Amino acid sequence: MTVVIIVGTTETASIPGLSAAGATPELVAHTPAADAEIVTYGRPVLAPTLPVSPTGCPTPAAITRAVREVVGFDLIVIEAGLVGDTAAPTIHAAARPGADIRTSVAVPHANTIVRTAYELGRSIPAPELIVGESIPGGTTTALGVLTALGESHGVSSSLPENPLALKREVVETGLTASQISPGDVEGDPVDAIRLMGDPVLAALTGFVRGARTRGVQVTLAGGTQMLAVAALLRHGGDSSPIDIATTPFVVRDPSAGIERAAAELDVHLHVTDPGFDGATHPAMRAFSAGEGKEGVGMGGALYLAEREGVSMQQIRTRFVEWYEQEVVEDGS
């Protein structure tokens, strides 16, 4: 199996209170590079730090890595607007970091990214792909894109208390700056991304469209950001069934309403429970309490492990070993 992780950044993430993808706001921008390195090597290499939330919840990249160590899969990282260096081998999608969606244009070169990523998706030989992402602030840009398209679905959050009111305010400011109203770019996914999205959504949309054109079986791995990708595909005229693999932590989030949205977009939802509920270990307890929830392909990796007949106990054990090694020992 091949897992693709598309990583990038948006200035939107620097709005205070939006994202839990980093211990401090300064470190958030480096989280996608660190995530790519963790899935590749098991730990950050050139990225300055291990991504943990302000309260200590580790990045979901650790669970994707645990699955990689137990199950094994080929990894392709696509670079869609990183800041700073990464030691993870990446394919470039002609992207730069995205602007704050509160400005008039969020991704000026959205069309170029979509086309470049489409060509990659159409070219890379693989019968089946699981596609995940890492971009702090990504649920806010997902809400921006959904709103611009006229889709009224909610979005999830990496924080236990979803700052949905703040997200809606940010999106409203962005729509005004872009001089559009909700639904104005219905049927135009590239314009929705250009005005209200981020470079990772652009690369996801192009890549997945390209792969599906060639008949590749694609599973989108993630929560509401992947729902936004599904909406972008639908608005681009793709009416074939879409698969999303995610975690129970997203499904449980009432503000996301992912099950209803999935039904409306004709998306088949695969939910794999890693069995963190009731765990005493802090690494699992944080996820169980609704932090992190999803990201860096976590839901898709768990789905793969389940399909391969690997027990969740094995994944949990590996994840806890990793946490003890990388967070507790290195952080002490």
Work out whether 328 is an interface residue with a second copy (CB under 8 A): no
Site track 111-130 with a second copy (rule: CB under 8 A), x = hit = --------xx--xxxx----
Half-sphere exposure of 273 (CA within 13 A, CB side): 9
Q: Pick the closest to residue 171 from 153, 188, 190 (CA basis).
A: 153
Work out whether 325 is an interface residue with a second copy (CB under 8 A): no
Q: Pick the closest to residue 303 from 222, 241, 226 (CA basis).
A: 222
119/117 Cα distance (integer angstroms): 5
Work out whether 83 is an interface residue with a second copy (CB under 8 A): no
Length of the chain: 332
In the bound complex, what is the minimum distance in angstroms from residue 323's beta carbon to a second copy? Answer: 17
Residues of span 20-49 touching a second copy by CB under 8 A: 41-43, 45-46
In the bound complex, what is the minimum distance in angstroms from residue 89's beta carbon to a second copy? Answer: 4
Residues of span 219-238 touching a second copy by CB under 8 A: none
Q: Which residues pair with 173 in a beta bridge?
A: none
64, 41 contact by CB (below 8 A): no
Work out whether 70 is an interface residue with a second copy (CB under 8 A): no
In the bound complex, what is the minimum distance in angstroms from residue 95's beta carbon to a second copy? Answer: 14
Strand 267-271, strand 90-92: pairing:
unpaired
Tell me the window of 54-62, 82-90, 95-103, 206-214 that interacts with a second copy (CB under 8 A).
82-90
Q: Which residues contact 134 (CB under 8 A, 6 or more apart)?
A: 5, 6, 7, 21, 31, 32, 35, 36, 61, 200, 295, 296
In the bound complex, what is the minimum distance in angstroms from residue 203's beta carbon to a second copy? Answer: 14
Among 7, 77, 107, 195, binds a second copy (CB under 8 A): 77
Q: How many residues bind a second copy (CB under 8 A)?
A: 20
